[in-house]
Amino acid sequence: MTPRTLPVRRLLGRLARRAARAGRPGRAWTVPAAVLAGAVAGGAYGLLSTPEYAATSYVVVVPGEGSDPAGAMGLAQAYGKVATDVALTGDAAVWARVSPATLRASVAAATSPDAPMISLTARSDRPETAAAMADGVARALVQKGAHTQASTRVRVVQFSRATTPTSPASPSAPLAALVGAAGGGLLGGLFLLVRPKRGTAAAGGAAADGGTAAEGGAPADGGGARGSAAGSGAGSGGRGAAVPGPAVKGASQAGTA
């Protein structure tokens, strides 16, 4: 490789790298593209997913005569934890006309921290089924409280029946699109944080080019210098120019002697 071909190869390599970078999308378009993709995905999910309805029924634990109100609070917490189990042992699934597995997966119980009240929320793709499941679990808790009233000295009373929902509780298409856009923007920002910067890659490529040129140019320059020295020695017609330095020195010493 001659010294003249090195700049040409470096120039071609830089042009190829710039062409490859020009084909990639800019960093400024990463976050907007991620936001748009997330909005489209969220909107499609909101449109294609089955709407879900939620209905809630409430029961309250009332302390009996001579019982401690704090005991009613503790029993309300206990009933809330075993609400679905109590409903499964009773006839709640039969009343709601669903399977026990569906009842367990669709009903969630929550207790109030400042009152002996339990909320029973059921979710279903049909509003009537959601209301029937919530009321069925509440009815099962009332029956359980009546069976254990002699030992616990508290009563479980249904405080409010579940009403049939008229609108779905699942997110609508605009809300799902908004959530998807926010998630897409977050992912796009994270991608920019973990992606290596172009300046660092360009500096590494320049350093590699410089190292290649230095390694390839030194032997060529040295060879050219040696060729120039040999040519000048041959043009001068000196006898000692064609032999190495130590031989010339030895020949000079022999002539002097």
* Residue scoring higher pLDDT (170 or 120): 120
Q: What is the pLDDT of residues 32-76, one digit of tens each?
A: 888 888 878 877 777 777 788 999 999 999 987 777 778 888 889
Per the domain annotation, does 76 fall within a domain?
yes
Phi, psi of 174 (to 5 degrees): -60, -40
Given a contact cutoff of 8 angstroms between Cβ atoms, the answer to whether 63 and 153 are in contact is: yes
Per the domain annotation, does 125 fall within a domain?
yes
Domain that holds residue 178: 32-48+172-194
pLDDT at 149: 87
Do both 60 and 75 map to the same domain? yes
Instruction: Quote the number of domains for the chain.
Output: 2
Helix (H) or strand (E) holding 158: strand 154-160
Per the domain annotation, does 36 fall within a domain?
yes
Do both 176 and 93 map to the same domain? no
Given a contact cutoff of 8 angstroms between Cβ atoms, the answer to whether 93 and 105 are in contact is: no
The residue among 126, 127, 134 whose CA lies nearest residue 160 is 134
pLDDT at 37: 83
Do both 59 and 89 map to the same domain? yes
> Residue 148 maps to which CATH number?
3.30.70.1130
